[in-house]
A = this chain, B = another copy of it.
Amino acid sequence: MNDIFADRISDVPRSFIREILKVALDPEVISFAGGLPNRDLFPVNELTNATNEVFQIYGNDIFQYSNSEGYIKLREYIAQNYNRQGLSVNPENILITNGAQQGLDLLGKVLLNDGDGVVLEEPGYLGAIQAFSLYKPSFLPVQVSEQGMDIDGLRNVLQQNKAKLIYTVPNFQNPSGITYTNENRQAIAQIIQDKQLFLIEDNPYGDLRFSGEPALSFAHYLPEKVIMLGSFSKIVVPGFRIGWIVAPDVILNKLLIAKQASDLHTCHFTQYIIYQYLQKNNIQDHINKVAQQYGEQCQSMLASLDKYFPSNVTSTKPEGGMFLWVTLPPQVSAMELFDLAVKEKVIFVPGTPFYVNKNHGNTFRLNFSCTDKPTTEIGIKRLGNALKKLQNKV
């Protein structure tokens, strides 16, 4: 029976995170495992109004089949947003996708032959590993740290391999929460400027900055080599599944063929609702509110880690986004900690699935967007207890 399947599907890692999330169904469990925006902050009233307006203004126009590129006014809005940051983006270079995840799939479809080199951050975004795996590339992992991508590591990897893509989440990365410095971005741009490859800048969290100063997009340095992915999932709602790709003409034309073949077009109804919402509301006020709350919850988590964890446990100090990254002493296993943590009724995601090489067993990801400050403190205290039990056992 097994030979009925395509080879490509056997290479896709199952989402360990989805398995973990089943434990989270117990209401007594405090979950730092998810990767969800905080549902209490969704602008439901505003979206209700926007939806009613869309029905009133457009009637049955928007329920018909539509173009594969996406709603032009929404694409104009997105382009203007980039251009306010000093970039030069044309609405014709934007394709609306079903969340940024579909952008990854379409890019894999259009660009990757079997064995093509794809530089991945280590640790890296699991959804990208899954999406690209279907196109059977050869993954080229490069470490990331608080400064960004390891420059020597990148240089070595590109000297020893022909890479077609470099995949990055340079702002408040999932899973680590780190942000590439401007110097780091510039150094990367210098390394790749003469190479025939594309750099994907996946930026779902970039707007959710709660401290520090914004860094420049890679598109400032190498506009013709950068493909940008964006999404309304973290700043409006994820359930509408509205993301986008910004790509040079030559790539966009191929992406459009792939989009047509994949699902004709993204739901126009939700595109119109988002656009109407953006017209009638100050999205920046909303983003500020979300970022502020995430910042407070992050601070609370960092303070609790200080209080309940020994000093040989370290963590990243995110300036935005939804995640931070904890490193245990080298000999301590996050998977073993996970088993004890479940008994203490707290969960997180062990670091292993975020590595292609699967060899950093002493790390894990914590999500801070969905738990309020008191719950965060209780959860981290439980986690500290689990660690004590693990270390007494060792």
Contacts and interface: CB of A to CB of B under 8 A. Distances in A.
Interface residues of A, number: 74
A62 interface: yes
Interface stretch (A129-137, A209-217, A294-302, A383-391): A129-137
Nearest to A61: B39
A64 B260 CA distance: 26
A201 interface: no
Contacts of A8: 109, 113
A6 to B, nearest CB: 5
Interface in A125-162: 127, 130-131, 133-135
A130 B263 CA distance: 11
Contacts of A264: 98-99, 101, 127, 241
Given A5-B110, A63-B39, A113-B7, A267 B254 contact: no
B7 A36 contact: no
Contacts of A270: 267, 269-270
A4 B266 contact: no
Interface string A235-279: 001111100000000110010011011111111111000000000
B266 A112 contact: no
A21 B102 CA distance: 26
A261 B111 contact: no
Contact of A263 (B39, B44, B102, B134): B102
Contacts of A105: 261-263
Contacts of A309: none
A64 B51 contact: no
Contact of A101 (B40, B116, B262): B262
A238 B113 contact: no
A357 interface: no
Interface string A1-35: 10011111100101100100000000000000001
6 contacts: A8-B113, A9-B254, A37-B64, A63-B237, A65-B238, A133-B261
